[in-house]
């Protein structure tokens, strides 16, 4: 895929422009967004992704268009799972609703920065060492197994404590007042950290965890750095609006972990097959390709679309008639565990917030 410098420049320019506009909207008037505002922006972002996919198909070929849409849907589904983690962080740290937009926006920017770094490193690895696909494939299959195991045990893995967050809580003098995105203020003549600092530390640590499986997943679909970057960018766009728009409906996606586990396992197998096709390991078939075929991109797109649709339909059927709280930070009783005592609500997902968030609210209560 030949991507000109102009295409890269336009893509980066649009990405930065969207972030700046979002920041201006959020920072100028911290507020709880209305449904009309959320739908308008979300529709624009999704439409932008669809337009990009169509443009890629027309100017670079149908194969690359399919790769983009497949990668976009995969990353978007993983991003929806990420919203569960944002809910946990906002709830455990008792972030006021009017400041949640600011916190989520910063979390998205951090995610974009970390994923860009991971994309650059990942591209260098897959370009120079074909055996890396074996590692990526095995990692995704293991991750898929972890999702299924977590779902069956109804355990989201909040037992271990994040060293970073633990350090921040113990070493920093955290005040009780919220001051928007300000991280440090003076209270009674002393410089103290605001609760928002803990939120951003938790979000930053979590974003790194997310990138560990989302980047190998997208490289299992396409090895084109431009498409990998674009798929991640468009998947993150509108995540802030989706957080407030879906609200308590996220609680109804009870089979999301199982759906994602299937997608990750499928991509993991696809990566291993690709590695066997590109095999260069001397001890395996004399360094020659082991197989002569690969899984078509169009089949991958179909599998992911069907999986996402089935996950949503079966989840909504399972939870039909159950009431949900429109406030996304109020996790249902079936998904919470001793929140009032400083515990972190459990959700049916392995991709958890930075471990140790559960005690953070005690610092500034």
Question: Is the distance from CB of 224 to CB of 67 less than 8 angstroms?
Answer: yes
Which H helix or E strand runs over 68? Answer: helix 62-92
Does residue 305 register a pLDDT over 70?
yes
Average pLDDT in the chain: 79
**Weakest-pLDDT range from 110-114, 136-140, 344-348:** 344-348
Q: List, for residues 140-162, the tens digit of each pLDDT value.
A: 999 899 888 877 776 444 433 45
Number of domains in the chain: 1
- 103: nearest Cα among 164, 15, 182: 182
How far is residue 71's CA from residue 49's CA, in Å, rounded to a whole number?
Answer: 11
The whole-number pLDDT of residue 27 equals 61
Q: What's this model's pTM, rounded to 2 decimal places?
A: 0.77
**Weakest-pLDDT range from 41-45, 82-86, 144-148, 210-214:** 82-86
Domain encompassing residue 283: 5-363
The whole-number pLDDT of residue 348 equals 38
The whole-number pLDDT of residue 209 equals 80
Q: What band does 265 get if pLDDT is binned at 50, 70 and 90?
A: very high
Length of the chain: 365
- Percent helix, strand, coil in the chain, to 5, is 70, 0, 30
Does residue 326 register a pLDDT over 80?
no
Give Cβ neighbours of residue 126 (< 8 Å, ≥ 6 apart): 132, 133, 136, 219, 223
CA 310 to chain CA centroid, Å, is 20
Does residue 304 register a pLDDT over 60?
yes
Give percent of the chain above pLDDT 70.
78
Where do we find the tokens 């970073």? 164
The whole-number pLDDT of residue 269 equals 94
Q: List, for residues 11-64, the tens digit of each pLDDT value.
A: 999 888 888 887 776 666 666 677 788 888 889 999 999 999 999 999 999 999
Question: Residue 43: CA atoms inside 13 Å, Cβ hemisphere, count?
Answer: 6
Does residue 205 register a pLDDT over 90?
no
Question: Residue 343: CA atoms inside 13 Å, Cβ hemisphere, count?
Answer: 15
């Amino acid at each position: 895929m030949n991507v000109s410098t102009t295409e890269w420049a336009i893509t980066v320019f649009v990405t930065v422009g969207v972030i700046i506009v979002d920041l201006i909207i959020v920072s100028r008037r911290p507020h709880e967004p209305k449904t009309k505002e959320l739908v308008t922006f979300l529709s624009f972002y999704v439409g932008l992704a669809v337009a990009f996919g169509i443009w890629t198909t027309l100017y670079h070929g149908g194969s690359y268009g399919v790769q983009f849409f497949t990668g976009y849907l995969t990353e978007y589904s993983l991003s929806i799972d990420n919203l569960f983690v944002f809910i946990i962080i906002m709830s455990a740290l008792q972030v006021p609703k009017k400041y949640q937009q600011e916190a989520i926006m910063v979390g998205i920017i951090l995610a974009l920065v970390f994923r860009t770094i991971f994309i650059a490193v990942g591209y260098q690895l897959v370009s120079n060492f074909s055996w890396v696909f074996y590692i990526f494939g095995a990692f995704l299959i293991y991750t898929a197994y972890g999702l299924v195991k977590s779902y069956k045990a109804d355990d989201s893995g909040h037992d271990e404590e994040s060293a970073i967050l633990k350090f921040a809580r113990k070493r920093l003098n955290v005040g009780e007042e919220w001051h928007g995105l300000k991280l440090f203020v003076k209270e009674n003549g002393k410089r103290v950290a605001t609760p928002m600092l803990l939120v951003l530390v938790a979000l930053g640590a979590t974003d790194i965890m997310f990138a560990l499986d989302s980047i190998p997943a997208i490289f299992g679909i396409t090895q084109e750095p431009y498409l990998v970057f674009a798929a991640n960018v468009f998947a993150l766009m509108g995540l802030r609006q989706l957080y407030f728009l879906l609200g308590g409906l996220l609680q109804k996606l009870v089979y999301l972990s199982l759906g994602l586990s299937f997608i990750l396992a499928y991509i993991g197998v696809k990566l291993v097959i690709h590695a066997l096709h590109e095999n260069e390991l001397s001890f395996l078939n004399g360094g020659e390709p082991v197989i002569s075929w690969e899984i078509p991109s169009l089949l991958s797109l179909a599998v992911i679309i069907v999986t996402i649709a089935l996950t949503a339909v079966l989840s909504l059927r399972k939870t039909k008639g159950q009431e949900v709280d429109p406030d996304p930070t109020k996790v249902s009783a079936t998904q919470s565990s001793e929140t009032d005592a400083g515990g972190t609500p459990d959700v049916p997902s392995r991709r958890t917030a930075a471990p140790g968030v559960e005690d953070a609210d005690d610092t500034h209560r």
